[in-house]
Amino acid sequence: MQGAYEKIPVLKIGDFLITSIQVALHDRLALGLQDDILAKIQETNAKGLIIDVTAIDVLDSFITRILVEIAKMANIMGVKTVLVGMQPAIAITLVEFGMELTGIETALNLEKGLELLEKISQEEYGDI
């Protein structure tokens, strides 16, 4: 069966969770990622989450909504989400289409995303 064993890894690095979407996202995979991320947040006490979409070539309204919902749910659990690696063609299409990434921070790439999360979590939790 197609997709039966597909799973997107969610990795913990320091205080942050990082997930990089490297395959064509279909609905079930996106919903599975949502569940996995929330479970991992609880399990690891992570302070921040990075979703890397560098390899994504199409973001339609359903998948965009899932990403926004993941960020909202993570936020309710006390975790800030930064979306990184948005391709120019996707940014153009999202804006023209009218899809909004409300409530989700973005950064150009993984490095900038990590910097942003560090900054956010320092503001939130204090330096020491």
Q: Is 62 one of the binding residues for another protein (CB under 8 A)?
A: yes
Q: Residue 24 in 3-state DSSP?
A: coil
Neighbours of 17 (CB within 10 A): 25
Q: Is 61 one of the binding residues for another protein (CB under 8 A)?
A: yes
The nearer residue to another protein, 44 or 93, going by C-beta atoms, is: 93
- What are the phi and psi torsion angles at 50 (to 5°)? -115, 130
The nearer residue to another protein, 35 or 60, going by C-beta atoms, is: 60
Count of H-run helices and E-run strands, the chain: 4, 5
Q: Is 28 one of the binding residues for another protein (CB under 8 A)?
A: yes
Among 11, 39, 55, 58, binds another protein (CB under 8 A): 58
